[in-house]
Structure 1
Amino acid sequence: MALSIAAETPLQDDIRSMVERLNAYLQPLSPPQFQFQLTVEQMAGADATVFVARDETGTAVAMGSLKVHDGETGEVKRMFCEVHVRGRGLGRAILGAIEARARNLGLARLVLETGATPGFEPAWALYEGAGFTACPAVLDYPDSEYSRFYEKSLSS
């Protein structure tokens, strides 16, 4: 399967649909007050870059975004891969694009919040395999039993 990854606007019908599938997957995994989902409109903000993987037919099959918080910290948000292409390295490729963008912007570290309940094991494996380490709560997220936090230094 030939794939391409590029920064794109999330304000496209196929990306909106992908975000809906991501939200549908996440909603039963933790209480609503512990879900911190960016909307497509928020993902389209000047402080965010959305990366989309497309297959040879042009179908969007994976996505992830970088949200810049300040001159030092970027956050990985909205990582998702369609079920039929999981296990092919797309998550790692999207993370690589996010990390490259963060480095190009001169950011010193990446952080992220993900779920801490059953159903998030693939996310933990992805982030840990990409060199992220568990850390205390980041940014303004509440520390709870429903969240797991990671960080990665981008300093050389």
Structure 2
Amino acid sequence: MIVGPADPRAAGPAALLAQSHALMRSMFAADECHFLDLDALTRPEIRFVAATEGAATLGTGALALRDGYAEVKSMFTAPQARGRGVADAILRHLIDLAASERRPLLRLETGTGLDAAHRLYRRHGFVACEPFDGYRENPASLFFERPA
């Protein structure tokens, strides 16, 4: 498995992002979905990555570079690749990337009910925090942060 920069509009990543967005829409109200669309994921302040194995895209993740921190976005693993360490590899890559981008803090927003994601983030040193950067307190959202 290789984790590295990718084009979110390429077939593999775009298909996984569509699955992720559909899942979010099925679990949360529209105003509770904070994912970035494909165009947003190509902005200069976004670092989009994918985990691949041969031609298969196994997972995606992104960093949004903010003033003084980086926000983890677009974490999603293909259902058939779950349990293989894909999300761990992507998150480790994003943590290293944040450090190389001189962002001393990583933050993220995630939804309630995404228990596997919550365990992943805690395993990597993320702890609960208050809403940040325009997010508001919401029963559907959880917020985490960790030093880079």
Shorter chain as denominator, the TM-score bin is: over 0.9
What is the CA distance between 1:13 and its match in structure 2?
Answer: 2.1
Letter in 2 for 1:8: A
Work out the number of aligned pairs and report it. Answer: 148
1:5, 1:24 → 2: CA distance? 24
Alignment partner of 1:96 out of 78, 92, 98? 92
TM-score (norm 2): 0.96
Alignment partner of 2:132 out of 138, 143, 155? 138
Q: What residue is the counterpart of 1:61 in the other structure?
A: 58
Does the alignment pair 1:114 with 2:110?
yes
Return 5+ residue gaps in structure 1 as ranges: none
Counting aligned pairs with the same residue, the percent is 24
Q: What residue is the counterpart of 1:85 in the other structure?
A: 81
Deviations 1:104-141 (A, max 9, x none): 0111100000002x2x0011000001100001111111
Query: Runs of 4+ in structure 1 displaced over 6 angstroms?
Result: none
Alignment partner of 1:7 out of 5, 10, 16? 5
Q: What residue is the counterpart of 2:27 in the other structure?
A: 29
Letter in 1 for 2:64: K
What is the CA distance between 1:11 and its match in structure 2?
Answer: 2.1
Q: Please state whether the residue corresponding to 1:151 is helix, strand or coil.
A: strand
Structure 1, 5-14 or 131-140: larger mean CA deviation: 5-14
Letter in 2 for 1:105: E
Deviations 1:74-107 (A, max 9, x none): 0000000011111111111101111111100111
Residues 13 and 59, structure 2, Cα contact 8 Å, conserved in 1: no
Return 5+ residue gaps in structure 2 as ranges: none
Q: Please state whether the residue corresponding to 2:39 is helix, strand or coil.
A: helix
TM-score (norm 1): 0.92
Residues 5 and 50, structure 2, Cα contact 8 Å, conserved in 1: yes
